[in-house]
């Protein structure tokens, strides 16, 4: 069946007349059925760790839209929690974590072999999905990239400019480097276990890569991604890997070759035409419709979707958004996007 799955064909380098499509955060708060399941779970983390309910919300957009891939419902901050960080979510504000500000905080963390007891429900969700998904639908697992995960662990929350992480990197580089190494090791184990459980593709989300400049980008975005991919390819040579160094700009160029990624996902700060000339030359590109079109819809959604498909039709392409869909999106606009991509 694998050779007929369109996502896997694109990741293997095939150019198709109609690009396969899935959507970041496709199982989420814009869907009424998700909201109902979330209410049943009680809170976000309980939903992540309830394998049956996490399976259900992962399947909801597949039933509704028939996307070519399902992405595991989880969160990038489960790895810090599995390493021993305190994690909770504040309604309307997002995640909160205990902070890593020095050696004493870092010393409290567990190691890469300590994470699986906490994360076993996630692996069970993957197993559930592998048996529940339609045979033509690819199952994608994921994790956060070390830099992005570290920014949350250091600040204790999301920040507009990742300033606390940059400060720790500058003032206590030995602690920062040790934290990056610990996250990298744990991420390799986490993704490897997802693949063992049935994930056919894994994606590495570096949501804050764009705040790394110059040599820092190479050291803290590119190098850890390369290390993770090399380790995973050694264990699982046939599993494709998507890398998403969001807002990398010119650093998207050559990222696939430098890291070993099978596909580079691009955000909407670069154009599809630019990506065709500078990124798709090395292989598959994923992206990159602005998520705001899922709110506003209309002719602009249709024309932009067609423009992206046309710009990237000369090489392997997976259609997606440039960032995750937002809670205020209209589910009807998602269907319009899919129909436009597929030429309905």
Q: List the domain boundaries for the chain.
A: 1-23+281-344, 72-265
Answer yes or no: 152 catalytic.
yes
- How many angstroms separate the CA atoms of 306 and 313, rounded? 10
Answer yes or no: 38 catalytic.
yes
Strand partners, 289: 321
Name the catalytic one among 9, 25, 182, 246: 25
Confidence at residue 344, expressed as pLDDT on a 0 to 100 scale: 64
Q: For strand 87-90 and strand 241-245, is the pairing parallel, antiparallel, or unpaired?
A: unpaired
CATH 2.40.30.10 fits domain 72-265 = no
- Angle, helices 146-155 vs 223-235, to 10°: value is 120
Name the catalytic one among 9, 38, 182, 246: 38
The model's pLDDT over 300-343, given as tens digits with 9 standing for 90+, comes to 999 999 999 999 999 999 999 999 999 999 999 999 999 999 99
Name the catalytic one among 123, 152, 220, 252: 152
Q: Are 182 and 83 in contact (CB under 8 A)?
A: yes
Tokens at residue 266, please?
């691009």
Residue 44's Cα: distance from chain center in Å? 18
In 3D, which of 64, 66, 69 has the Cα closest to residue 5? 69
Confidence at residue 3, expressed as pLDDT on a 0 to 100 scale: 64
Q: For strand 94-97 and strand 87-90, is the pairing parallel, antiparallel, or unpaired?
A: antiparallel
Confidence at residue 88, expressed as pLDDT on a 0 to 100 scale: 96
The model's pLDDT over 82-114, given as tens digits with 9 standing for 90+, comes to 999 999 999 888 999 999 999 999 999 999 999
Answer yes or no: 75 catalytic.
yes
Tokens at residue 207, please?
């949501």
- How many angstroms separate the CA atoms of 306 and 158, rounded? 34
Low-confidence ranges of the chain (pLDDT < 70): 1-3, 344
- How many angstroms separate the CA atoms of 1 and 169, rounded? 46
Confidence at residue 91, expressed as pLDDT on a 0 to 100 scale: 84
Give, for 299, the enclosing helix (H) or strand (E): helix 298-311
Name the catalytic one among 30, 34, 68, 75: 75
- How many angstroms separate the CA atoms of 28 and 324, rounded? 10
Confidence at residue 92, expressed as pLDDT on a 0 to 100 scale: 83
Tokens at residue 70, please?
């399902």
């Amino acid at each position: 069946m694998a050779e007929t799955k369109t996502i896997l064909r694109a990741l293997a380098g095939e150019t198709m007349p109609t690009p396969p499509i899935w959507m970041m955060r496709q199982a989420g708060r814009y869907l009424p059925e998700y909201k109902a399941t979330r209410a049943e779970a009680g809170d976000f983390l309980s939903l992540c760790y309830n394998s049956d309910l996490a399976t259900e919300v992962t399947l909801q957009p597949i039933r509704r839209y028939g996307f070519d891939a399902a992405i595991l419902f989880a969160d990038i901050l489960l790895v810090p929690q599995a390493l021993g960080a305190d994690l909770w979510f504040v309604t309307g504000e997002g995640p909160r974590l205990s902070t890593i500000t020095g050696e004493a905080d870092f010393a409290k963390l567990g190691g890469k072999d300590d994470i699986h007891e906490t994360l076993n429900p996630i692996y069970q969700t993957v197993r559930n999905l592998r048996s529940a998904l339609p045979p033509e639908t690819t199952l994608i697992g994921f994790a956060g990239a070390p830099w992005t995960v570290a920014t949350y662990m250091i600040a204790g929350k999301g920040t507009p400019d990742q300033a606390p992480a940059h400060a720790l990197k500058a003032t206590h580089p030995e602690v920062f480097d040790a934290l990056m190494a610990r996250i990298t090791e744990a991420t390799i184990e986490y993704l490897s276990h997802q693949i063992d459980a049935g994930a056919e593709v894994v994606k590495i989300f570096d949501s804050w890569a764009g705040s790394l400049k110059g040599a820092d980008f190479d050291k803290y975005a590119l190098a850890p991604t390369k290390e993770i991919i090399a380790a995973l390819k050694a264990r699982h040579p046939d599993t494709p890997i998507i890398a998403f160094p969001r807002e990398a700009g010119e650093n998207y160029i050559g990222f696939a070759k430098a890291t070993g990624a099978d596909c580079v996902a691009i955000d909407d700060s670069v154009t599809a035409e630019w990506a065709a000339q500078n990124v798709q030359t090395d292989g598959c590109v994923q992206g990159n419709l602005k998520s705001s079109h899922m709110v506003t819809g209309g002719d602009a959604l249709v024309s932009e979707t067609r423009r992206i498909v046309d710009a990237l039709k000369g090489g392997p392409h997976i259609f997606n958004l440039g960032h995750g869909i937002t809670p205020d999106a209209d589910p009807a606009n998602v269907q319009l996007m899919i129909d436009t991509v597929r030429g309905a």
